[in-house]
Structures are given as C-alpha cells and as structure tokens.
Structure 1
Amino acid sequence: MTSTPAATAQVGVVGLAVMGRNLARNFAHHGYTVAVYNRTAARTEELMAAYGDEGFVPATELADFVASLERPRRVVIMVQAGKGTDATIDALAELLEPGDIVVDGGNAHYEDTRRREAALREKGLHFFGVGISGGEEGALNGPSIMPGGSAEGYKAIGPLLEDISAKYDGEPCCAHIGPDGAGHFVKMVHNGIEYADMEFIAEAYDVLRSAGLSIEEISATFRQWNTGDLDSYLIEITSEVLDQVDAKTGKALVDVIADSAGQKGTGRWTVQIALELGVPVNTIAESVFARSVSGHADLRAAGQEHVPGPAHSFDPADRAQLVEDVRKALWTAKVVAYAQGLDLIRTASLTYDWNIDVASVASLWRAGCIIRARLLERIRAEYAGHNLPTLLAAPSIIDGIAEANEGARRAIGTAMQAGVPVPGFAAALAYLDQVRAQRLPAALIQGQRDYFGAHTYQRTDAEGTFHTEWSADRSETKLD
C-alpha cells in the first residue's frame, strides 16, 4: 500500500511547460510550498532535478497531487487551452471538494471560462479564469495578473496571486476583475491592444526607414523616445531588436527575418467580440489584418507585380521634423488603441454585469505585462478622477491629442503620398475624426437601406420611425 501524502502545500500547479514551471517557481520564491504535477512525469522530474530545493511537493498521480494540498485546495492549471483544459478540470473536479479553487492561467476564450465557472459552481467549487501577461520572464519574476471569479473565492486565492504579481510603486499588479469570464476578457483585450501597439511601432519604423534613416539612427530614435511619454516595454525592446546583428550574414537581424508576422488568436478574438458587442476597435482590427496581409504570400506577390503606386521611399526636407511628426502619430495611435480597448471592456462589463473598474484595469497593466507603459499611470489617474464615457474625454488626453494633432496628420499624409502603408496610424486618425464629427455620412447609408430594404430611418426634427415609398410616389410614412 502507498501512503496518502501529507497536506503540506499551500498551492498546486498542474502543467509544467515553461510558463507553468516558472509560475510554480515564482510561488516557491515567495515562500509557498508548491505541489506540482504534469501528465508527462518527465517534466516533473526535470523540474525537481533542476530546482527541487526551492520548495516543491512532486506527484506522479493526480490524486496524490490533490491530497498534498491544504484546504481550501488552490490549483493553478497551466495546460494547453481547449480540450486539454477541459480534461484537466474534469479530472480535478472528481477529486476536489466544495470550497476548493481551480485557476485556469491559460489564454482561454472568456465564453469557455463562463461555461467552466458555471459547471464547477454547481459542484461547490470556485473557478477562476486568470489572465497572466509578461511571458516566461514575467511568470517567474512577477507578471500582471487579471483574475476573474467569485468574490468569495478571491479571498483565498487573491492574496497568493497578488504576492507573486509584478509591483508598481509597491502596489500589486493584480486585483479582482469581476465574476466568471471577466479576467480572461480583460486579458484578451490586453492582447488586442498589444497587437495594435506592435503594429504602430512597426509602421513608425517603416516610415523612418523609407525616409532614408539607417537602422542605427532608427534604433537611437526609439531609445530616445523611451525616455519620454512613449516610455514602454515595447518601445524599449524595439531598440534592442534593431541593434541585433545576424551572426551568419553580418546584416541587421531585422533585415534577415522574414516579413510575415504570426498570431495566436487573441487579437482576432478581440475584434470578433467587438463586432458582436457593437464596439468600434478599428485600430486593433487593422493590426490583425496587417498580420494577415504579411502572411498572404500569393496576394503580396500579385500586388508587387501588378499594383501601381509611389516608390515606397522619400527624402524629407527636414528629417528632424519628420521624426517628431512620427512620434506624435505613434503616441496618438497608442492612445486611440487604449481608448477602444477600454471601451470594449466597459461595454462587456455592462453586458455581463461584471462591474469592472476601468481604473483598476489600467493599474494592473502598469508593470509586468507586455503593454506596460508610462501612459498607463495617466490613464489610471484619469479614470479614477473622472466618470469618463471614453478615454478621449480625459483632460490630459485631450491636451495631448491637440498638441500632437498637426504633426500626426502630417506624418500620416507624408507616408500615404510615398506609398508607405500605415493602416494602424490611418485607422486611429479616422476614428478620431469620426467621433468628433458633428454629422456623419451614415444618414446617406440609412437612406440607401430604406430604399432597397425598407429598413426605415429616424429624423432629426421629429420623433418616431419613418419610411419613404421609394418605388411609388416617394411619400413619407410615419410608422410609430
């Protein structure tokens, strides 16, 4: 007979690939005894061989893993999203008891999280969908953590997550987002904003490169930008990527990397859900489509052979002014992406009754995550101090857009005239012009819809719904 393991671990991690292993080590580094289990025992053995002295309780059987956990049991799942997650949850649910907590730390779709949370709630278990951002390094040294689940369950798991999270001025970059799928929804939008931010940076690079600046000059420009209001993790690593020389060819690595960007789906989810909720996120959408275009080899080959246009290069009369204009375009686009992403979160919160605090969301992104940036502290303060319908109504943001407006428009216009694609920049500017317009051409669209489909319209000078008899005498009828 084998003896039942003593319940000595405060938290357990299932799934010991790089993210799971690093998260387990993060817990251990903060003084927790950590139960660890992997379906393939070799990974558990590798962890113990390399880091076994850090405070782990290994198990080769899931039942032993569960038995080694103190009550309420806290289990963090770091396995492949989809069927792998469902299978792990089902197996755990047979072994856990009411009051125990299951945390999914993967990039799950928030609707899957809502389904799983409802199913486990019926069994008396607390299920948390937790967004974790920061990559491998963040998982080990302090990520941004976005937990969604019950307020009661958060009392037991929240302090541990806050403990291992990144800190900004001593404050944990972790807080209870809301119930069921709220945490994974916020992480999804984080990733959508990440897509947009990366696209904007790439467009800024492309404009400057097309204007004749060397890679060394562009790298120095990004490094300088990182000391001002564009200070962010992505701007910082851009300089490092541009500085890298390929050992095989002696060329800049960026000139050797194939120009086809991959994606794992969270950016696409953001756009899909925004369409379902009726929230405009065109900058994020353009960043997703830009990646799609980059990988569409046949389309690009045909375009390069047949589509006419400018030379994709130009010689600016004032390089310093161009650099400053591109900086302003980049800052403006970044603000718009945040505004759209946070509006999507606000709308989802109302739709699902999540009661998400937007200021709190911004505070979680200030450190540890991929989109961490100086701008986020300003965003947090603005949402904390004002009841904002949109980030674009925040006083300091209004001032910033006004200051950047002329230069941003000049940079975008210059790029378009030279044939340099700036879909993200252009989408951001178009969004600003749309939301500030006194009257949009949607009136004509509504007239067209009424013409061919009798979809009706409203008037600006009267209450009710109207239809014009387009195929008859074109008289107008009030329908209600």
Structure 2
Amino acid sequence: MLNTIGVIGLGVMGSNIALNMANKGEHVAVYNYTRDLTDQLVQKLDGQAITPYYQIQDFFQSLETPRKIFVMVTAGKAIDSVIGSLIPFLEKGDVIMDGGNSHYEDTARRYDDLKSNGIGYLGIGISGGEVGALTGPSIMPGGDKDVYEKAAPILTKIAAQVEGDPCCTYIGPKGAGHFVKIVHNGIEYADMQLIAEAYTFLREKLHLSVEEIAEIFETWNQGELKSYLIEITAEILRKKDELTGLPLIDVILDKTGQKGTGKWTSIQAIDNGIPTSIITESLFARYLSSLKEERINAENILSGPEMDPQNLDKHLWIEYIRQALYMGKVCAYAQGFTQYKMTSELYGLDLPLKDIALIFRGGCIIRAEFLNVISQTYQEQPDLANLLIAPYFAEKVKEYQIGLRKVVCEGVVSGISFPCLSASLSYYDSYRKGTSAASLLQAQRDYFGAHTYERCDLAGVFHTIWQ
C-alpha cells in the first residue's frame, strides 16, 4: 500500500505532526536528513502506520500520486535546501507544504518558483506548539485554492476541533497563511507581556504570594478572561523547583527569547503604516529583558520614585487589574486584526477575518473565550474598521477603562514599567480622539521642509512661508 502523505523533518514538531496524521488514519512516510531523529521516532511508534525511509528516492516512491509532502524544518535556508533536493523527483500536480515559521515573502517567492513548474506549494501556519502538533493545532494554509483542496482532507482531520468544526480554513493566496501566522505570533507576544505586567502588579504592588496569584489566574480563567495563556500561567505559578523547593518562576532567569516572528509582525506593520504599538512594545520589552547584566548594573545607579508605604484594597485592585488585562488584550487583538484587514486591502488578499478568529479558538497559543465574539463581529460587520468600535467591545472598554487607567497610573507613580498596558491605554485614547496634535507635526514638517499640509476647511494641499 502506498503512503498517503510524507513528512520531512522529524524534530519535535515534525515527529508529532507525523504521529497526529497516523493517529487520524493516514499512512505516513517519514524522512529526515540525519538518521538519529528518524530512529527516535521509530522508537515512539505503537502500531501507527508510519514507515521510515533513509533514502529520499525510497521516500518518494512510497507516496501515492499526486504526492503530498509536509516539510517541517527550520525556516530560512533549510526550507530552500529541502525544496532544492525534492525538485528532481517532483512531478506536475505534486504538493509541497511548508509547516514551519517561514516569512510570508519567502513563501510567496517559493510559491512562484514552484508554480512555474506545475508544482503546488502551500505555506501553512501552525500554532499550538508540540502538544498541539500531536493532538490538534490551529492550521492556516495559504496558496492556490485548488492545491489546498488536495491537502484539505488531511489538514482538517489533524487540526484541533471546536464544536465539531476543524481549526483549519483556507486563508488566501501565496504567503497569506504564513502572514496570518506571523501576526498571530505578534498578538501572542503582546498577550504574554500583558499577562506578565498583570503578574508584576499583583506581586509588587499588592504583595501577593506566587500561590495567591496562581489562584487569581485560575479564577480569572473561569470567566471572560478564559484563555490558554491565562490557564498555563496559573499552572506555571503553581510549579515548584525540585532543587530548591521554591516556586519555579523565582529561579527562571528573566531574559526572554524570541525567534523573529514578532519582529516580522512589527516590521510589516511599520512598512505599511499600520499602528501596532502594543505588539511592538512587547517586542522591545523582550529586547530590553535580554540586557540582564546592564540592568543589574543600572539598578545600583539609577533610582526610582520615593514612595510612602500604602495599603491598597486588595479585592478592589485585583478587579482593577483584571479589567486592565482584559482591556489590554482587546486592544492587542484589535491591533492584530486591524493589521490583517489593512494588509488584506493593500494586497488584495481577501483574508477571511471571521474564519481566522474561529480557527484561533482551538489548538493555537492565543485561543481565548472572546474569539467567538470577534468572529461573530466580523460575520455581522465584515468591513468593520477596528474591533474597539464593535458594540460588544465598545461597551466593555467603556466600562473597563477605569481599571486600566488606575493600574497604569499606579504603575507610573510607583516606578513599575508597564510597556504594553500603557501602550494599550495610549492606543485607546489616541484612537478615540477625532482631533489630535498631529496638526502641529504637519506645521513643523512644512516649516522646516516645505512638506505641505491639508486644511480642515478647504480642499487641496497648502504651504506657508513661515519666516
């Protein structure tokens, strides 16, 4: 019997994707450029229909036609190298799927190169980490619709399922799938940083123990803040270090890593004039955290505000920080979905916003309770400019802005850095103002550079001789 699909790249994600496919009834051929990872996967098998191959020719010959090959290797040159090695064996109608975190522009280039030879290419965003890869991730495929249809029976089968629907949908042409994934990761960066700032306030201002904060996050996860990241935060805070007996969070070095996708989100937004200040501040927060040695030195030189000891009403302020976190998350998702909308219009991608929200409900890292509301919002208002002005969220932020304002102000006077909470408030206040000080900036630009300006009361472009 020929294999229905092949998987190349057997690291943690690739191995788990292969196991997921086999567990869902597919016959899977697997290949890795080094034998060790193939052997490790073989040792995990428990009767699954996975056949290892150690020569690329044998791998190819084992696949039914048109061949469907899922590539799960490191983004960048490794993908190009794999594609280059496959080309001599590929035939018209075959399909290559890149499930890594590739840059969407690289995906578009590979798509064009392969399409000219009659080969289908799908750039597939995958979210859910190693557990999601095994049990059901959120899947974001981009490429030609007819090529997607060849792979759809398998992709929808291995995706997370929510209320009977797969968390997989056709996203759009060329690199659309990987574009949606990088912005997903930008939202993820912001969401994580907002949660970290809420944790900081609970610990440094309310002086709560790690155990008490874990209980708060667990409670929050029962309500409108319910999400994967809130859930795992509670679990993380309950974890004890086996060596010291301390909360594990207290022995983890405060230097945050990143693999580039958040950076790509910000660069794309900057290049296209899209305001993603919360997402970008979360990226800068990671960069600043990496300067650990400098921060230790600065702590001994730079001073913060002198504060009189005060006892804040814990119950009141826990509610304020809950409101602040919810509003910050709404603003971050609003920026991400605005980036989807504006980019879709700019490049004619026709991104299905309501469907994107739906496939984020399961498997992926940013899955959250209010994604159902976001999807319903775009179902009813497909041309909505910004989630903040949707009736449901407009009412929520009207109510919760007091919590965000109080938390940000308390942080400022206390010398606590809240890059994403404060950026959320600035974004909200800037977006809700019909008139701003940008008129002064335009006047300055015209003064020193004769860049001209428009007027509120007359049509046309104007320049003033200022001196």
Instruction: Report the TM-score when normalising by structure 2.
Output: 0.97
Residue 44, structure 1, aligned to residue 45, structure 2 = no
> Paired residue for 1:134, among 113, 128, 133?
128
CA distance in 2, matches of 1:32, 1:299: 52
Q: 2:221 touches 2:230 (CA, 8 Å); kept in 1?
A: yes
Q: 1:316 touches 1:322 (CA, 8 Å); kept in 2?
A: no
Aligned in 2, Cα 1:304/1:13: closer, same or farther, shift over 3 Å? same
> Paired residue for 1:341, among 328, 332, 336?
336
List alignment gaps of at least 5 residues for structure 1.
1-5, 472-480
Instruction: Report the TM-score when normalising by structure 1.
Output: 0.95
* CA offset digits 1:74-116 (Å, max 9, x no partner): 0000112111110101111221111110000000000000000
CA distance in 2, matches of 1:220, 1:43: 40
CA distance in 1, matches of 2:142, 2:182: 12
Aligned in 2, Cα 1:314/1:95: closer, same or farther, shift over 3 Å? farther
Q: What is the match of residue 103 of structure 1?
A: 97
SS in 2 for 1:278: coil
List alignment gaps of at least 5 residues for structure 2.
none
* CA offset digits 1:339-368 (Å, max 9, x no partner): 100111112212222111101110010010
Q: What is the match of residue 410 of structure 1?
A: 406
Q: What is the match of residue 156 of structure 1?
A: 150
Q: Per-residue deviation at 1:431?
A: 0.3
Task: Give identity over the alignment, percent.
Answer: 46
Residue 254, structure 1, aligned to residue 234, structure 2 = no
CA distance in 1, matches of 2:302, 2:268: 33
Q: 1:210 touches 1:314 (CA, 8 Å); kept in 2?
A: no
> Paired residue for 2:302, among 304, 307, 316?
307
In structure 2, what residue type is equivalent to 1:145? Answer: I
Q: Per-residue deviation at 1:318?
A: 1.0
Q: What is the match of residue 456 of structure 1?
A: 452
Aligned in 2, Cα 1:126/1:312: closer, same or farther, shift over 3 Å? farther
CA distance in 1, matches of 2:224, 2:448: 50
CA distance in 1, matches of 2:96, 2:277: 35
Q: Mean Cα displacement is larger for which, 372-381 or 385-394?
A: 385-394
Q: Per-residue deviation at 1:301?
A: 3.3
Aligned residue runs from structure 1 range 18-33, under 5 A? 18-33=12-27
Aligned in 2, Cα 1:237/1:169: closer, same or farther, shift over 3 Å? same
In structure 2, what residue type is equivalent to 1:27? Answer: M
Q: What is the match of residue 475 of structure 1?
A: none
Residue 222, structure 1, aligned to residue 217, structure 2 = yes
CA distance in 2, matches of 1:298, 1:460: 51
> Paired residue for 1:385, among 380, 388, 411?
380
Q: Per-residue deviation at 1:190?
A: 0.6
> Paired residue for 2:286, among 270, 288, 291?
291
Q: Per-residue deviation at 1:39?
A: 0.7
Q: What is the match of residue 392 of structure 2?
A: 396
In structure 1, what residue type is equivalent to 2:369? Answer: R
CA distance in 2, matches of 1:363, 1:49: 36
Q: What is the match of residue 72 of structure 2?
A: 78
> Paired residue for 1:369, among 335, 346, 364?
364
Q: Per-residue deviation at 1:412?
A: 1.3
Q: 2:254 touches 2:292 (CA, 8 Å); kept in 1?
A: no
Q: Per-residue deviation at 1:236?
A: 0.6
Q: What is the match of residue 427 of structure 2?
A: 431
* CA offset digits 1:275-300 (Å, max 9, x no partner): 00110000001101111111113542
Tell me the number of residue pairs that the alignment of Structure 1 and Structure 2 aligns: 465
SS in 1 for 2:47: helix
> Paired residue for 1:113, among 96, 104, 107?
107
RMSD: 1.3
Q: Per-residue deviation at 1:313?
A: 9.4
Aligned in 2, Cα 1:23/1:408: closer, same or farther, shift over 3 Å? same
CA distance in 1, matches of 2:119, 2:325: 46
Q: Per-residue deviation at 1:70?
A: 0.7
* CA offset digits 1:235-261 (Å, max 9, x no partner): 011111111111212211111111111
Residue 208, structure 1, aligned to residue 202, structure 2 = yes
In structure 2, what residue type is equivalent to 1:24? Answer: A
